[in-house]
Structure 1
Amino acid sequence: MTPFTERVIQLIQNIPEGKVATYGQIASLAGSPRAARQVVRILHSMSKKYQLPWHRVINAQGKIGLKDEQSYYEQLMRLEAEGIAFGQHDWIDLEIFQWKTDKDRC
């Protein structure tokens, strides 16, 4: 496993309940700001093995990026159960719900 993959897994495991992170945010925090698609691949292939809270990772527009209807609604329901509110067109207000790390605050 690459150091980038290990860091992505660690970061996703640390997203607190009731907060979300974007694919790009995770990539940037893991040291490769242009690797958002790699974060998607890591989530897809390693979520079950590492019991990642995959549902807490969304796209940069504050929306669920999954196209499969069943998975989309599963993610939506999990986020709502954690207290995340959805606006019009299932949009999440990142000003309120985005996970802020110490690095983000600097």
Structure 2
Amino acid sequence: WTPPQGGTIKINTDGSVIGDRGGYGGIAIDSRSQCLFSYSGKGDAHPVTYQEMFAIKRGLELGLERGVEKVICETDSMQMLAYIRDNKTPPLRLLYSSSDHSIFDI
């Protein structure tokens, strides 16, 4: 792990599902490796991609609330990375299960 360049924050996120419970979380670090904020949440056992999407979205929202303009987001979800990188919409089943939480709103 390397810190971001000055003026940029790095948000590291993760989501998981175990049984009938799901959760997500993240941490934001600045160029001095200082924690700016962290967050977590829990929810129903939606697909793990939903948890990953909500973790990224929440991190971006918290960054925007703090006036952050440049963000690097790290995730272990290859599926979410592909959606964001290729500017593709997730499958409809994912969007419908999380209609109030779409990362593409940001």
Structures share fold, TM-score greater than 0.5 = no
User: Which structure's CA Rg is the greater one?
Assistant: 2
Q: Which has the higher strand share?
A: 2
